[in-house]
Each structure stands twice: as structure tokens, then as C-alpha cells.
Structure 1
Amino acid sequence: MNCFGFPHDAADRGRVPEANGPDEFVNVLISPADPAEVVRRRIEAAGAVGVKPYWNYAASCYGKKSSEVEIFDMLTVAQLEYLNRAGLAVTLHIPRPGRFADRVNQRQMVELCERYPRISFIFAHIGRAYFMRNIVEGNLAALAALPNAFFDTAMVNHVGVLRYAFDHFPAERILFGSDAPIALLRGKSVEVNDQYVYLMGEDYDIGTAIRDTEHVLEFTTFFYEQLRAILAATPENALENVLYCNAAKLFGSIAKS
């Protein structure tokens, strides 16, 4: 299990979840406002395997609109140089409205991996590609050639997106992610006209949401919908690795180094 706090502006980034066993790993929330030395101390004190930046921290730090934040805004050069020396991981929720299909994102994802080869870059939510056009217009081939590029599957329950990812990216660098506790809500992400929306089975909104106001449908959780899609899309010989072994190997090797 790879854990980190919720990246809210009011969160205390100095507090880190505790790892309670050999299969649990933690990340430190990070803002570009945090000096690299402070980040180092937090990571070492927690025994963390990496960091979790988020676009809202960069927006607050630089006074930008959320839609204007770029990947290079989310971490400073000093932070990246430290993370590279230490051989740690970065779980990155890419910004910008175009998500994985955005050319600026694509260029900067590749540049990060090339400039900092000892950092394992985990691009969350398959690069936030929740619908087919977004992943088809992504740059999976370029990232597949970079051994320190990874994806996690958090909150992706689109079978087509997952199959496309497995067809164009090494399965050994795809990690199952749940996005809990949000994934424990009842609902499903659905594609609508080259977009996606959360179809909600309870009175709670996340992102762009449509509620079943008449309570006609019987929903399961986003978590279960993700598992259903993973089972349908993952090559059988890679399933155990995707669900457990890939992440255990990556984070275990970082923790031991």
C-alpha cells in the first residue's frame, strides 16, 4: 500500500501517514514552497519512498490559475535534484485541461524522466486519461521507452483505456491504484462525447458529477468498478504483478536503498 495525505491547501505537509508493515509505504506531500532541505528531513523522518506534489500547491505558490499550472511548476529544481540523488519516487497528478493529450504535458513528462533518471515518476490515473480520445492522443510510446516512467490505474474504470494502456506500455510499469477513500463512494466514471463524468449513486459530488436523483440504479463502489475493469483489461499473465508485485517491487527497492 502506498499512502499519502490529501493534498489540500490547509493540510499540514509535515505530518505523514505511518507505515504499519513491510508492505506499506508512505509519501510526503510537497509544495514548490517547501525548501529542499525541509523535504529531505520530512522524508528521512518518515522513512518515505517519495513525494506527492499537486497542482493546487503550485497555483498557490506562484499565483497562477489552476488551468495555467504546468508540470514544471509543481516541483523545484532543488527538490528534483535531491529526489534524484536519493532515488525516490514522485506520484504526479498531471495538470492542465488537456491532461494526457496536452502537448505541453507530454513534453514535460518526457523531459522530467530524461533529466532525472533516478526518480521513478508515477503518472497517476494513467495520466488522467479517463476516456479513449485522451489516451489515444497521449504519448505512451515515448514514455514506454523511458524505464523510470510508470503509471497507476487509480480511479480508472474504463476498460478501453486500460486495454489501450496495456497494449502500448509495459505491464511491469503499471501499478494498481485505488484512489481511496474517494473510490469507496458509490458510482462509476462514464465516457460522454470525448469527455468523462462521474455518475454518482449517492448525494455527494466529485468533479463533474451526475446524480441518480430517482435512485433507480443499484450502484457498487468506484473501487469495485475499477477492479472489474482491471480484470477485464489486464493480460492474465500480468494480473498479479499489476495488482501487487509491481508496486511492491518498486517501493520495496526504494525503501531498501
Structure 2
Amino acid sequence: MNLNHPLIPINDVDRCFYAERLEEFLPENIVDIHTHVYRDSDFPSVRQNNSRSVSWPARVAKDNPIEDLLETYRLMLPGKKVTPMIFPTVPRGGNLDVQNSYVSACSHEKNIPALIFSDPTWSATETETRIRQGGFIGAKSYLSVAPAYIPGKEIRIFDFFPPHQLEVHNRNGWIVMLHIPRDGRLRDPVNLAQMMQIEQDYPNIRLIIAHVGRAYCDEDVGNAFEVLSQTEKMSFDFCANTNANVFEQALRCVGPRRILFGSDMPILRMRMKRITRDGRYVNLVPRGLYGDVSNDPNMGELDGAEAAALTFFLYEEIEAFRVAAKRLSLGHEDIEDVFYNNAVRLFDGLFTI
């Protein structure tokens, strides 16, 4: 990071938004349960888009070394002490081991919790050895590392978190950060069945469902919260999600002690506002700021005063949660649980802040 050029320019719109809506709402101590830390130098010079994932996040930041992540909190959440849980981003060009080694080193150097990015081809023994040797407290994985012969729309949770690895996590009481696959997102019956199966068959896993199960639009929910009301342990982070209606339903379903704040940094540095159109989320950004987005169905552009009024994705996410919390009359203790205490309890016996 070049100190002569701030990592993230902060303008008057940002300062006013934070001061008027978020500063008093947020507790002094925060745990960000969902962050990616990685270096551009660890990636191939030409990065190919993965057909199993959206491409727009790559427009926000080419990398996010630990120094940039910590500086992001200083700039965007002034007056708050933020502890991130870190893990790699999606591997490319055979760089999984390099990424995991970097995250492990950052975890030890900064004394912050970290998850390994796991590969479904690892044996149970290899999974356990890698996690222990790296000082990790669990694993994150992603549908992109599921076997290549499986069509993207048919990938299931167990294709990238296979049962033999879940048994290892269960035996050790480790954290599993789960980004669910499939076009149906949270409402998908296969996703719901396998989420329920993990809770029932692996009761010691500390399971986190990322992004509230990717329910970014009202249409993504279906009957999911009716099904999930039968759960007792799994938690949900609301990273990279700005849907107050979904947050409200999640809070009603599992209560504030099973909801976790996460950001999905570095993409939450994006200057944007999210809307939904016909069941699809669309990120509205200042025209030209993130290159040519005309062919991306999840992106749109604004000009003039509308563009100038945009603030950060992070602020929009927290504001949406504040709206949901206000609807349900959550108290100060509930907010502290969501943004700090729940994570501390989740880490119990694994990591001490």
C-alpha cells in the first residue's frame, strides 16, 4: 500500500453515512467472520474467469494482503476495533498451497483466526494434518473446486465438502464456512437437505452458512426458513448481502445469537448500491469506475448526482442489517452478539481474541 495514495478514498458522502447511521449502531469491538486475504503475486499473470462463479468481484481489488485488510477497517470503520477471520480466495493456476501458506503466516504474525481453503481430493488424514500444521481452526471451500466433470448447475455441497472431510471437522469441533451452490440458492431442496444432514450427522461441526445462503433477493428464500427452523446449531453470516427482508426472516428463524457479521472483504470496498430485478441482484456503480460492465447481468451503472450519492458496499450491508434489527426491536446486547459475542463463542476452545 502506498501511504501517499489512500487505499480507499473516503468522501463526504461516506463520512456522513457512517456518522449518521452506523457509528452509534455498531459496537466498539467487532469480529468480521468472513474475509479473503491474498496477494496478486501468487496468481498467474493472466487470470481466467471461472465459469462456476460471477466475475464482478475481481473488478474491486486485484489482491488483499493482510496490511490492506487492516487498513480498510481503519479507514472505513473509524473508532472500531475489528478482528477478522481470514482465509484464501478461490485458487487459480495451482496456487492453493501458496495461498494457504500465506494465510497461515498472516494468522500467526497478526494473531488472528484463519481457515484453510480445502480441496475435496484430500484424504481425511491429509485434511487433518494440513489444518493442524497451518494453525487453522477449520475450513472454507467453494463449488469451483468440485470435480470438473460435474456440470456447474448440478454441484452439491458434498461435492466440495466430502463426508470424509466433514468427519474430520466433526471429530475436532472445527469451523466449516459453507458457501452453498446451485441456482436455487437457499431455497434449493438439495441444499436444504444437505445442510440439515450436516447438522444432524456432524453435530460438533461449527457450521456457518455464508451470505445467508446466498439469499440476495426475496425470491431466493422459498420455504427455507420453515425448514431451517428445525435447526439448533448452524449459524448464518450476512456478508455481501444487503437484503433487510432476508435478514429479518433469518433473525426470526434462528434468533440473533446465531447470526454473524461478515464482510467478504475486499469486495465490500466497492462503491455501489444493490437492487433486485426479476429475482436477480444488480450492483449499481458509478459509470466507468469498474471498467466495462455492460455484459455483466449483475452490474449496472449510474451517472451524475445518483453516482455521486453512492457509498460503500460495506455500509449498505450494515445499514440493511440495522433496518432489520430496528423492525424487530433488537436491543444493544443483541447487536453486540451479532457483531462480536457470537463469534467469540464460536471460537471457544479454538482461538482466543
TM-score when normalising by structure 1: 0.90
User: Aligned equivalents of 1:9 and 1:252: distance in 2?
Assistant: 33
SS in structure 1 at match of 2:96: coil
User: Does 2:142 correspond to 1:54?
Assistant: yes
Aligned to 1:41: 129
Q: 1:110 aligns with which of 171, 183, 196?
A: 196
User: Does 2:177 correspond to 1:94?
Assistant: no
TM-superposed deviation, 1:216: 4.1
| One-letter identity of the residue aligned with 1:145 | Q
User: Aligned equivalents of 2:229 and 2:137: distance in 1?
Assistant: 23
Q: Which structure 2 residues correspond to residues 44-193 of structure 1 after superposition, within 5 A? A: 44-58=132-146, 61-135=147-221, 137-193=222-278
TM-superposed deviation, 1:31: 1.6
CA contact (8 A) 1:158 1:229 kept: yes
User: Does 2:333 correspond to 1:249?
Assistant: no
| One-letter identity of the residue aligned with 1:223 | L
User: Does 2:100 correspond to 1:12?
Assistant: no
TM-superposed deviation, 1:212: 2.5
SS in structure 2 at match of 1:217: helix
Aligned to 2:331: 236
207 and 42 in structure 1: CA distance in 2 versus 1, 3 angstrom threshold: farther
Q: 1:224 aligns with which of 290, 299, 315?
A: 315
77 and 232 in structure 1: CA distance in 2 versus 1, 3 angstrom threshold: same
110 and 160 in structure 1: CA distance in 2 versus 1, 3 angstrom threshold: same
TM-superposed deviation, 1:36: 2.1
SS in structure 1 at match of 2:349: helix
CA contact (8 A) 1:16 1:28 kept: no
User: Aligned equivalents of 2:197 and 2:265: distance in 1?
Assistant: 30
| One-letter identity of the residue aligned with 2:331 | E
SS in structure 2 at match of 1:7: coil
**Deviation per CA, 1:162-200, whole angstroms, max 9, x where unpaired?**
112112222101100001001111112212122212222
186 and 138 in structure 1: CA distance in 2 versus 1, 3 angstrom threshold: farther
User: Aligned equivalents of 1:215 and 1:252: distance in 2?
Assistant: 47
User: Aligned equivalents of 1:195 and 1:50: distance in 2?
Assistant: 32
TM-superposed deviation, 1:207: 7.1
SS in structure 2 at match of 1:161: helix
User: Aligned equivalents of 1:236 and 1:207: distance in 2?
Assistant: 38
104 and 221 in structure 1: CA distance in 2 versus 1, 3 angstrom threshold: same
Larger RCO (CA under 8 A, 6+ residues apart): 2
SS in structure 2 at match of 1:253: coil
| One-letter identity of the residue aligned with 2:87 | F
SS in structure 1 at match of 2:197: helix
CA contact (8 A) 2:228 2:253 kept: no
Aligned to 1:2: 85
Structure 1: runs of 5 or more not aligned: none
User: Aligned equivalents of 2:336 and 2:110: distance in 1?
Assistant: 20
30 and 207 in structure 1: CA distance in 2 versus 1, 3 angstrom threshold: farther
**Deviation per CA, 1:89-122, whole angstroms, max 9, x where unpaired?**
1101000001001111111110111111110111
**Deviation per CA, 1:28-85, whole angstroms, max 9, x where unpaired?**
0012112222221221122211100100001xx2422222211121112221111110
% of aligned pairs identical? 30
CA contact (8 A) 2:119 2:160 kept: yes
Instruction: Answer with 1 or 2: which has the greater Rg.
Output: 2
Count of aligned residue pairs for this structure pair: 252
SS in structure 2 at match of 1:9: coil
**Deviation per CA, 1:132-177, whole angstroms, max 9, x where unpaired?**
1212x14224334323311001011121221121122221011000
User: Aligned equivalents of 1:255 and 1:168: distance in 2?
Assistant: 28
User: Aligned equivalents of 2:96 and 2:196: distance in 1?
Assistant: 31
Aligned CA-pair RMSD: 2.0
Question: Please, which moves more after superposition, 139-148 or 103-112?
Answer: 139-148
